[in-house]
Structure 1
Amino acid sequence: MVSVTLSQFRNRQSDYIAAAQREPIEITSRGAGRRAVVVSPEFYDRALQALEDQADVRAAADARKEPQIPFEDLLEKLGL
């Protein structure tokens, strides 16, 4: 990952945005350290999808831990 200061990024913003299409660009600041990371839209979309997939997997695992209702009891509850 390329790391640049905030002032370097300001001076060559279009160059770094173009570079971010190939690899993430870390923007740092003297007092605050790491401030931001610029990534391509495709990278962002893939990362967001991966996080959503993980949340779905966790939700499914949690649902499997819930008590199971026998089918006959479910039919009775539904009045069928």
Structure 2
Amino acid sequence: MASVTLSEFRGRQSDYIATAQREPVEITSRGARVRAVVVSPEFYRRALQALEDQADVEAVTRARQERGRVSHDELVEEIGE
């Protein structure tokens, strides 16, 4: 992951946005304090999808713990598909 200061980012925004298409760019300020991370739209979409998938797995796990076996129809109802 690339790491730049906020002032470096301000001075070369387009360069760092281009870098973010290949790897996340961490923006720091006041020493090493991370203020933001710039990522590509594709990385962001994949991250959101992974979080949604994880929430679905957790919902299934909870349903199984609460009710034992879960039918396919119950599973679909639980995860909202």
**TM-score of the pair, normalised by structure 2:** 0.79
Over the matched positions of the two proteins, sequence identity in percent amounts to 78
RMSD: 1.3
Q: Secondary structure at the match of 1:34?
A: strand
Aligned to 1:41: 41
Give the greater-gyration-radius structure (CA): 1
Unaligned runs of 5+ in 1: 69-80
Residue of structure 2 in register with 1:78 after alignment: none
1:51 CA displacement: 0.5
- Report the Cα offset of residue 65 of structure 1: 1.2
What residue identity is the alignment partner of 2:61?
A: A
The whole-number CA distance in structure 1 between the counterparts of 2:42 and 2:57 is: 22
Residue 30 of structure 1 pairs with residue 30 of structure 2: yes
Deviation sequence 1:28-54 (CA, Å, 0-9, x none)? 001671000000000000011001100
Deviations 1:55-77 (A, max 9, x none): 00000010011235xxxxxxxxx
Q: In structure 1, the residue corresponding to 2:52 is in which secondary structure?
A: helix
Q: Which residue in 1 is equivalent to 2:50?
A: 50
Distance 1:8 1:20 in 2: 14
Structure 1 partner of 2:18: 18
Tell me the SS of whatever aligns to 1:50.
helix
Which residue identity does 1:62 align to in structure 2? R
Which residue is equivalent to 2:71?
A: none
